[in-house]
Amino acid sequence: MKIFASLYTDEDIANLVATLLRARGLDVLTTIEAEMTGYSDQEQLAYAASEERCLLTHNRVDYERLHLSYIKTGQQHSGIIVTPQNNAYEIAQRVGIILNTLTADEVFNQILYV
């Protein structure tokens, strides 16, 4: 059983957020590091799922739609965390709290709002 969810940040998440989350001991992969810049939201979620990473995004509307599509078609993902466009320190704090509270299994196939 995997305790902590690994993260994959969407293009709209500042690199500073990834740096701050790593400083908290979390496993974070950015879109740039994965060489996935410019891909569609659907491709981003599919990539995150294939890597067993929870996707972190500001894009609530598109990822809610994709989440519902996954549920309807029986597909699975490793979680989606939607955060408002606050400063990087606040985002990292909120995401850190969620990922220290919930296991990877509890985040699996869920959409969470922080």
Does residue 85 sit within a domain? yes
Tell me the H-state helices in the chain.
15-23, 41-50, 60-73, 88-101, 104-107
The number of C-alpha atoms within 13 Å of 69 and in the hemisphere containing its C-beta is: 10
* Single-letter amino acid code for the residue at 96: G
Does residue 18 sit within a domain? yes
Q: Is the pLDDT reported for residue 1 higher than 70?
A: no
pLDDT of residue 11: 94
pLDDT of residue 3: 84
Domain count, the chain: 1
* Single-letter amino acid code for the residue at 12: D
What does the pLDDT look like over 54-100, one tens digit per residue? 999 999 999 999 999 999 999 999 999 999 999 999 999 999 999 99
| Residue 50 domain boundaries | 6-113
pTM, rounded to two decimals: 0.96
Q: State both tokens at 106.
A: 């509890």
Q: What is the CATH number of the domain that holds 98?
A: 3.40.50
Does residue 84 sit within a domain? yes
Does residue 35 sit within a domain? yes
Does residue 1 sit within a domain? no
Report the share of the chain in percent with pLDDT over 70.
99
Does residue 90 sit within a domain? yes
Does residue 68 sit within a domain? yes
CA distances from 112 to 27, 37, 51, 78, 108 (A): 18, 23, 19, 11, 10
Does residue 86 sit within a domain? yes
